[in-house]
């Protein structure tokens, strides 16, 4: 940081955070952030900045505590200070993670390459100024909004007219299966019996106000004894999946739809 950039102190917060900034993030869906920081003073100062943007904050001072938060809470943004012991072992930083939020890594300038093999989208040199933190939040907004749009659960009457389940070498047709909700990333099914975790599924879906069926495939990523199961779509840029995305965007709530059209 240059000499003209102040470090983050309580007095700086009053000067740098204005009421207008508190309305930067749209109210259609409240974002949640994980703060993995080494000391309580940093937690308090950053929490004020985040809450001024309407972001819910979950603070952690150890990797174990942070991992527990991510298992029990939906997190859109993670601020990870690499001075925390074993910070690079945080589960959501690993390339294999299924988490699709945005990570901001805080580290000294001399160690900015420390996270090169980790899932970190923004790297911010320490000491961190309030202005730098605000710029990082604004830079993260589009990615957070796009992820919320992609995972928004639509409870519209989608019909599964045909489906096949493949698991460990055997195959069977799906019967008496209802679609409870659908998003750009997958759907929730309610079947007569539990579906096996990890099974692959091919489906023909009919969307509301549509005369054609849409073909989709995916994998069962969670299942419950009640018969409910979550299916994640295979990531595909095929025309049918693009058509599904366009149709779902048309059904988004008004403010969320405005974000989708501008991204």
Bridge-based pairing state of the strands 159-167 and 186-190: unpaired
Tokens of 157: 């009457």
What pLDDT is stored for residue 3 in this prediction?
41
What pLDDT is stored for residue 260 in this prediction?
55
Exposure letters 152-173 (e unless 16+ CB within 10 A, then b) = bebeeebebeebebeeeeeeee
Q: Where are the alpha helices (DSSP H) in 28-170?
A: 40-52, 63-72, 130-151
pTM of the entire predicted model: 0.57
Q: Per-residue pLDDT for 30 more than 60?
A: yes
Tokens of 132: 């730098």
Reported as a pLDDT band with limits 50, 70 and 90, residue 259 is low
SS3 136: helix
Q: What is the pLDDT of residues 172-206, one digit of tens each?
A: 999 889 999 998 888 999 998 899 999 999 999 99
Q: How far apart are CA 59 and CA 52, in angstroms?
A: 16
Phi, psi of 253 (to 5 degrees): -55, 155
Reported as a pLDDT band with limits 50, 70 and 90, residue 263 is low
- Segment holding 230, helix H or strand E: strand 228-233
What pLDDT is stored for residue 258 in this prediction?
54
Q: Per-residue pLDDT for 28 more than 60?
A: no
Name which of 101-105, 161-165, 238-242 the model is least confident about.
238-242
Tokens of 136: 């990082």
Q: Radius of gyration of the chain from Cα atoms?
A: 21
Considering the chain, what is the average pLDDT of its residues?
79
Q: Give the C-alpha distances (Å, rounded to integers) separating 121 from 79, 90, 118, 162.
A: 11, 15, 9, 40
């Amino acid at each position: 940081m240059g000499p003209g950039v102040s470090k983050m102190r309580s007095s700086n917060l009053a000067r740098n955070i204005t009421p207008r900034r508190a309305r930067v993030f749209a109210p259609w869906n409240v974002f949640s952030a994980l703060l993995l920081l080494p000391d309580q003073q940093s937690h308090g100062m950053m929490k004020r900045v985040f809450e001024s943007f309407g972001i819910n904050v979950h603070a952690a001072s150890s990797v174990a505590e942070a991992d527990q938060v991510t298992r029990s809470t939906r997190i859109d943004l993670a601020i990870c200070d690499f001075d925390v012991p074993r910070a690079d072992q945080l589960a959501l930083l690993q390339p294999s993670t299924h988490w699709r939020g945005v990570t901001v890594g805080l580290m000294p300038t001399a160690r900015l390459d420390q996270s090169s093999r980790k899932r970190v989208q923004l790297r911010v040199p320490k000491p961190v100024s309030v202005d730098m933190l605000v710029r990082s939040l604004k830079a993260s907004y589009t990615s957070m909004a796009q992820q919320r749009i992609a995972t928004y659960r639509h409870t519209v009457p989608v019909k599964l007219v045909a489906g096949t389940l493949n698991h460990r070498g055997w195959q069977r047709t799906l019967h008496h299966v209802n679609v409870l909700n659908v998003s750009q990333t997958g759907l929730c099914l309610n079947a007569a019996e539990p579906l096996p975790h990890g099974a692959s599924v091919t489906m023909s879906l009919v969307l509301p106000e549509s005369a054609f069926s849409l073909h989709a495939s995916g994998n069962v990523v969670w299942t419950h004894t009640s018969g409910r199961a979550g299916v994640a779509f295979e990531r595909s840029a095929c025309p049918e999946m693009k058509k599904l995305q366009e149709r779902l965007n048309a059904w988004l709530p008004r403010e969320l739809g405005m974000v989708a059209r501008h991204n």
